[in-house]
Amino acid sequence: MARPREFEYETALQGAMDIFWQQGYRATNLPDLLQAMGLTRGSFYQAFGDKEATYLQALDFYDACVVSKTVDMLNQCNADDATACLLPLFQPNGKEARGCFICNAMVELGSENRRAAEKANAMAGRLRAAILGVLTRCGEGRGERSPSDTADLMLHLYFGKQAMGKAGGSSNDWEARLRSLL
């Protein structure tokens, strides 16, 4: 008979996501992962399989916890002004030094791990669709750029801001920048 699980699965997955997000996939060794997850080797292997499977589950967890929350925020924004809806994407959140977990996955593993790339691209696609929804509701993109092109621009700007934040670079006047682009 299998022993009952003696840990909270989501808490362990949160720990995995945090350590991978902070250190990256390659730099995270098994002892670091076990400590972050609060698991023994046996519990880890039984519940999660291996490091790669855990990383992929951490990406899914990020999608469920972070990306879904962001998409919901964008979809529920009722402002008439797209800048007001998009500005929260660019505001400091205390996690700038980590960058964006999606960007980190794309840069570190995107070219060599098809499943990680697919998950990262799917999350980026969900963010882009929510940004496009904001632009469409607010009537943006009628000038030189279509709403679709503007959504691409905003998504890339967001990812660039996240990448620069990881290196300590950031801008404080995102509202003016967004208004100039919209």
pLDDT computed for residue 19 by the predictor: 97
Kindly give, in sequence order, each residue whose CB lies less than 8 Å from that of residue 65, ignoring residues fewer than 6 positions away: 17
Task: Tell me the pLDDT tens digit for each residue of 43-92.
Answer: 999 999 999 999 999 999 999 999 999 999 999 999 999 999 999 999 88
Alpha-carbon span 19 to 14, nearest angstrom: 9
pLDDT computed for residue 144 by the predictor: 80
Mean pLDDT of 3-16: 83
The torsion defined by the Cα of 136, 65, 26 and 7, in degrees rounded to 10, comes to: -170
pLDDT computed for residue 1 by the predictor: 43
Task: Tell me the pLDDT tens digit for each residue of 105-136.
Answer: 999 999 999 999 999 999 999 999 999 999 99
The pTM assigned to this predicted structure is: 0.90
Question: Over the chain, what is the mean pLDDT?
Answer: 91
Alpha-carbon span 91 to 74, nearest angstrom: 14
Task: Tell me the pLDDT tens digit for each residue of 146-168.
Answer: 999 999 999 999 999 888 888 77
Characterize 26-57 residue by residue with b for buried, 16 or more Cβ atoms within 10 angstroms of its Cβ, and e for exposed: eebeeeebbebbebeeebbeebbeebeebbbb
Residue 34: pLDDT band (50, 70, 90) is: very high
